Amino acid sequence: MKVLYVGEEDFVGAEMRKAFVEAGHDLTSSADGAGRPAPVCDVLVAFEPSPAVIKELVARFRGKAGHLVHISSHRVYPAVPRDRPWTPPDFDALADTLDSDIAAAGFAAEVAAFRAAEREMRLAVRGRMPWTVLRPAMIEGPNDPYAHSAWFVNRIVDGGPVVLPDDKTLIYRHVAAADLARAAVAVAGQKTAFERTLNVVSRGILSYWGHAAMLRDGLRRSVGFRYVPAARWQAAGLPLPVGAQAWSSFIEASPLLTKLRWEPLDDVAFLAHLARHLEALPRPYDRAERERERALLAELEPAGETAFRPGRAANGAARPKHWQLCGWPGQPNSLSLRAAPEPAARPPVPLVKTLQIAVGAVENRVLRGEFDTAAAPLVLGHNALVEVVQSGGAGPRVGQLAIPLAQLPCGDDGCAECAGTPLPRNPGIDCDGYAFSVHPVAAEHLVRVPADLRRAALLAHPLAALLDVLAGPLANGSGQVWVYGVGAEATLLCWLAEEFNRSVVRAERTANRHNRFATEAHDALVRMVAAGTLAKPEIVADFGEMADEVAAAFNDVLAADGLYCGWRRPETLDEAFAFRALPAGARTRKLLDEALALLRKWSQWRDVAVLSGPGVPLEAAWDGFAASSFSQAFVTVEA
């Protein structure tokens, strides 16, 4: 196709040229044809055009351009806290409104311009040519003029501690400029994208800590983070790391892009590459500002006002003696740390204190409301590491580490706690979990953890769930196992399949040459099976977010007696294939004991603990959801 690009040339423009040329298209830019009559083109791509530019383009290219791709911005969305990400239907660009919160923040002109450009495009182009609007999240890349990540990289390279504003409610998203360019290629000339507005965003959800931690890890620097209250940060006149409009970038990816075979880069790999680039070619920054940040930290620490110190709340007050970590099912932004009543001793039931609480796919699903759970505050923690602080007599001794069962009743006929509980209960999912400071847990519900497995203990529940569902099928066959996803569960399944001498293929939408968690491209594998150069898999496990897409392909690729397993049965999976849903954790003590034994065995030659962490402070629990996608993140209560 012949493509004309209109917009800046050094950042997004350079990626547009590269992406379209690599896809086999002929791209010219507005600079290439300045002063000449409008050329005939198949696709006209306009990056952040003003209303005047839109009007001019429509007038010049009427009858000469087959498709207009208008790249707008996430800034059309209001910059206000949200329980769920913004989607295109949430905001109608034709509405001539300007939110008072944005006007008050001084963004009126900028936001109004983006909204007016979309409005002008829809009104001016109506009936004249097909159009598509792309609304990218915060755009990042090596030549980013806003240098969002450079704010963090400069401070990491300068040496710790890196001082961050404590705004644990703030979450935002970004997208690589290269991904945005490939999204433009994906929609160019596609009739299914005509008259559509699409959000373009990476997979990750960022917070200040998560963003900074991934950049730090990419630089392989040992730098710590310290926190000051956001109110004190702003009172000192310090600019926020990614600007005051970060909330508007909390957007949801449009499914149509996935159907068009577009996929974003891996966040961890992208930010590691970006961090190294910004280290090699540092951006200038205000060192006086950096000193003001340090001075503010030095001023507040003696007074106890700094945030996220273990045992301290964000406002500097002592953490409640007794606390509980709660969420409201169906409200993703409802995670909160609350005071809890003092636990009542119930001899002979032991009292335990919680040391670590897993946060990951299960907690995300709880907060999104995917489980059949009552709409009431729920204490989270289906998977926790606890320590016995008061023995119940014949039960575990004081100081013993343990992990509680994830499903009740426990099946022990002598368990008084489970008497009269015929229906299964899942702590942290449909009843209160283990995210309490101190609480009673029946000795029958505690599985002892050896001290040498302390760092890997939270892997026992996901591994036990895999043993529950897949140990039988793995033992009774010999064919390939294909594993989708990059989480700890995916790696545990790869190791488990190897335990049964199965050949394992780890796959994702695109190939990823990560040094520990490399993946093959899904489409390439499907083509190899179709060509007869790769055997059909007997088992497919999907721990990612491409269930329907993958399942549709496997209606032709999966072996006739094959098994598909994952969080849910995909709608596109043929009824002829068996499906097994993964439980959130171990159903029995026996499975947990088997999982712990396997983890101990593997730890003799594998770095099992690499799949556990990072541990985030209790008061920063939100940051656990922004941690590395390759491991089991957890909230730590330990100092």
Residue 443 sits in a domain whose CATH number is: 3.90.180.10
Among 448, 476, 493, which residue terminates a domain? Answer: 448
pLDDT in tens, 513-538: 666 677 888 888 888 988 989 988 99
Tell me the C-alpha to C-alpha distance, in Å, between residue 311 and each of 314, 342, 343, 373, 636. Answer: 10, 17, 19, 31, 11
In a domain, 569, yes or no: yes
In a domain, 316, yes or no: no
Residues 333 and 270 in one domain: no
Residues 441 and 465 in one domain: no
Residues 18 and 95 in one domain: yes
Compute the average pLDDT of residues 176-204: 94
pTM for the model: 0.60
Residue 240, helix vs strand vs coil: coil
pLDDT in tens, 304-320: 544 444 334 444 445 67
Residues 60 and 92 in one domain: yes
Residues 167 and 242 in one domain: yes
Residues 120 and 230 in one domain: yes
Query: Higher model confidence: residue 38 or residue 633?
Result: 633
Of 140, 543, 83, give the one whose Cα is nearest residue 335.
83
Measured CA to CA, the distance from residue 629 to residue 508 in angstroms comes to 13
What is the separation, in whole angstroms, between the first and last Cα of the chain?
Answer: 60
In a domain, 337, yes or no: yes
Residues 394 and 510 in one domain: no
Phi and psi (nearest 5°) for 299? Answer: -70, -40
pLDDT in tens, 240-264: 888 767 888 999 889 899 889 898 9
In a domain, 635, yes or no: no
pLDDT in tens, 323-342: 899 888 877 667 788 888 88
In a domain, 157, yes or no: yes
Residue 538 sits in a domain whose CATH number is: 3.40.50.720
Residues 254 and 125 in one domain: yes
In a domain, 621, yes or no: no
Count of domains observed in the chain: 3
In the prediction, which pLDDT does 102 show? 42
Of 492, 637, 633, 522, give the one whose Cα is nearest residue 205.
633
In a domain, 592, yes or no: no
Q: What is the mean pLDDT of the chain?
A: 83
- For residue 138, the enclosing domain spans 2-297
